[in-house]
Structure 1
Amino acid sequence: MGVWAKWAQGVLGLTLLASLPIRAATSVLIWPIDPVLEADQKAGALWLENRGSAPASLQVRVFAWRQGEYQDQYQAQREIIGSPPVATIAPGQKQLIRLTRTGTSPVGQEQSYRIIIDEIPTPLPADTTGQGTTAAIRLQMRYSVPLFVYGEGLWGKADPDGKRNADGVGKPQLSWRPVMVQGKPYVELRNTGPVHARLTDVVLQQGSQAKPIAEGLLGYVLPGASMRWPAPFAATPGGAIKGRVNGQAAAEAIRQGQ
């Protein structure tokens, strides 16, 4: 049975032991930040590097990623395995996490996953003065990395070596509309294309007025899904949205739907 959860993107989580000094000795660098398993790949790699001053113990899990009711949803799955599931990395060292496909992906489809990397906190040192455990706030870091997996006949990225048919590279099909949620303005974006849309630097325009919906990453819209974000003002049918999709160099206009 799948366990559903909702997490914000990026770094999450705090474990509070006392409202005194903060201690964080680990800093993990993760690459690539946009891993994919193309249709002709059985496995891929994710690298973790400990840039901190203390050993980092990490748990790696891969969840199925869906979007419903305008929210991200995660579910346990067995289609993609991350190995090793637990690793301890010394300062300045790297760890390879192998992402392995256990079966065949649906033909012509993109499947979405989230790789959740949790720091396993170590016990705080005892207080040598005899007053017990040293009081502090211990940060427990959580990293969330998207993973997209493709079935035969669909590619996620162009192949620089020309071994893949460029016509098979999927493109999102986006539309947007203004909505009101509990009296507040939102924009709703729908993706009817075969692959995800990663949205950055999105701006809402209305006549001479233009304001960013988000500076930097706004979020993702998965295939067949709709997502909503707060708008800086209430748009009318004559408004427009522009943004960068899947890392493209220039912003493009997103058509307004019904």
Structure 2
Amino acid sequence: MKLPSRAFGAWLVCLGVLHAMPALAASSVLIWPIDPVLEADQQASALWLENRGTETANLQIRVFAWNQSNYDDQYQNQRDVIGSPPLAKIAPGQKQLVRLTRTKSMPPGQEQAYRIIIDEIPGAQPPGPTDGKTAAAIRFQMRYSVPLFAYGDGLWSKPDTTRPRDPKSAGVPQLTWRKVTEGGRNFVEIRNQGPVHARLTDMTLQQGGQAKPLVEGLAGYVLPGASMRWPVADGAVATALQGHVNGIDTPQVISQAH
């Protein structure tokens, strides 16, 4: 299954346009936590949906296996983790609990990645005008994408105040980077050889003594054993790369591959 790559949060998909005009987006869904996990000893985890809009939200919840190949995100149907209920009807101001349940154990010492895709099911079109004029409005469908990580025995990544654990035992990504040229385009390629994912934000390149942004804000994820690429300007000579990894406040210097 192909979905927009490197997306995080809400995607807006236009369903139909009658001329160009105000957007009708009466439903707005708040989702928390935005980074759910299934610990090795957890059978299930909770995801909450709250309708902050003015109309009832009809939602479809699906969980896809997530991997990365050819420098892109790939999604496949799976039954290892199930979201329940698969359909939710949430009135304005109300909440819905979605239970994320694993159906089998994860391999020891490994992290498995998933994407929770929450689609708004469009309701009936509002009545058209009765004065013969064309309605000027855009109908939007909301799509939300939430990452989910599940762990096998002996591995964890996300701190949890209810679980006293030695931070030194946490799984951490092991990142290296290199500059590559392919098809006449230049890229920074980041490889993750660690046991857990890397969520990258505010990546900067050191060029000629100056730090220049590679990606401002969320750059994306690099899953264990995968490599991802980001385009750079022609002729740019980078000597160092750094950025924030998995929400840590201090920027991390990423080693250059040799």
TM range (shorter): over 0.9
1:87-102 aligned within 5 A = 87-102=88-103
TM-score normalised by L of structure 2: 0.92
Inter-partner Cα distance in structure 2 for 1:161 and 1:26: 34
| CA apart distance, 1:215 | 1.3
1:196-235 aligned within 5 A = 196-232=197-233, 234-235=235-236
- Which residue number in structure 1 is paired with residue 3 of structure 2? 6
- Which residue number in structure 2 is paired with residue 121 of structure 1? 122
- Identify unmatched segments of 5+ residues in structure 2: none
- Which residue number in structure 2 is paired with residue 80 of structure 1? 81
Q: Sequence identity, in percent? A: 59
Report the number of matched residues: 254
- Which residue number in structure 2 is paired with residue 144 of structure 1? 145
DSSP-derived class of the 1:46 partner: strand
Inter-partner Cα distance in structure 2 for 1:40 and 1:213: 38
Q: Does 2:170 align with 1:169?
A: yes
Inter-partner Cα distance in structure 2 for 1:130 and 1:74: 47
Q: What amino acid does structure 2 have at the position aligned with 1:105?
A: M
Does the C-alpha gap of structure 1 residues 79 and 234 become closer, same or farther in structure 2, counting only changes over 3 Å?
farther
- Which residue number in structure 1 is paired with residue 28 of structure 2? 27
TM-score normalised by L of structure 1: 0.92
Q: What amino acid does structure 2 have at the position aligned with 1:144?
A: S
Inter-partner Cα distance in structure 2 for 1:83 and 1:129: 42
Inter-partner Cα distance in structure 1 for 2:147 and 2:77: 15
| CA apart distance, 1:169 | 1.4
Does the C-alpha gap of structure 1 residues 198 and 93 become closer, same or farther in structure 2, counting only changes over 3 Å?
same
Does the C-alpha gap of structure 1 residues 43 and 35 become closer, same or farther in structure 2, counting only changes over 3 Å?
same
| CA apart distance, 1:214 | 1.3
Inter-partner Cα distance in structure 2 for 1:91 and 1:23: 16
Does the C-alpha gap of structure 1 residues 166 and 16 become closer, same or farther in structure 2, counting only changes over 3 Å?
same
Q: What amino acid does structure 1 have at the position aligned with 2:52?
A: R
Inter-partner Cα distance in structure 2 for 1:61 and 1:213: 32
Inter-partner Cα distance in structure 2 for 1:100 and 1:46: 11
RMSD across aligned C-alpha pairs, in angstroms? 1.9
Does the C-alpha gap of structure 1 residues 128 and 158 become closer, same or farther in structure 2, counting only changes over 3 Å?
closer
Contact 1:186–1:234 (CA under 8 A) maintained in structure 2: no
| CA apart distance, 1:136 | 2.9
Which structure has greater strand proportion?
A: 2
- Which residue number in structure 2 is paired with residue 241 of structure 1? 241
Contact 2:18–2:135 (CA under 8 A) maintained in structure 1: no
DSSP-derived class of the 2:203 partner: strand
Inter-partner Cα distance in structure 1 for 2:104 and 2:163: 26
Contact 1:126–1:134 (CA under 8 A) maintained in structure 2: no
Which moves more between the two structures, 118-127 or 108-117?
118-127
Contact 1:114–1:147 (CA under 8 A) maintained in structure 2: yes
Does the C-alpha gap of structure 1 residues 81 and 162 become closer, same or farther in structure 2, counting only changes over 3 Å?
closer
Q: What amino acid does structure 2 have at the position aligned with 1:7?
A: P
Q: What amino acid does structure 1 have at the position aligned with 2:109?
A: G
Offset from partner CA, 1:200-226 (integer Å, 9 cap, x none): 111011231221111111000000000
| CA apart distance, 1:231 | 1.9
Offset from partner CA, 1:113-166 (integer Å, 9 cap, x none): 000000001111222517599553210010100000000110122343454454
Inter-partner Cα distance in structure 2 for 1:107 and 1:165: 19
Which moves more between the two structures, 162-171 or 70-79?
162-171
DSSP-derived class of the 2:3 partner: coil
Contact 2:108–2:153 (CA under 8 A) maintained in structure 1: yes
DSSP-derived class of the 1:98 partner: strand
Does the C-alpha gap of structure 1 residues 15 and 100 become closer, same or farther in structure 2, counting only changes over 3 Å?
same
- Which residue number in structure 2 is paired with residue 16 of structure 1? 16
DSSP-derived class of the 1:45 partner: strand
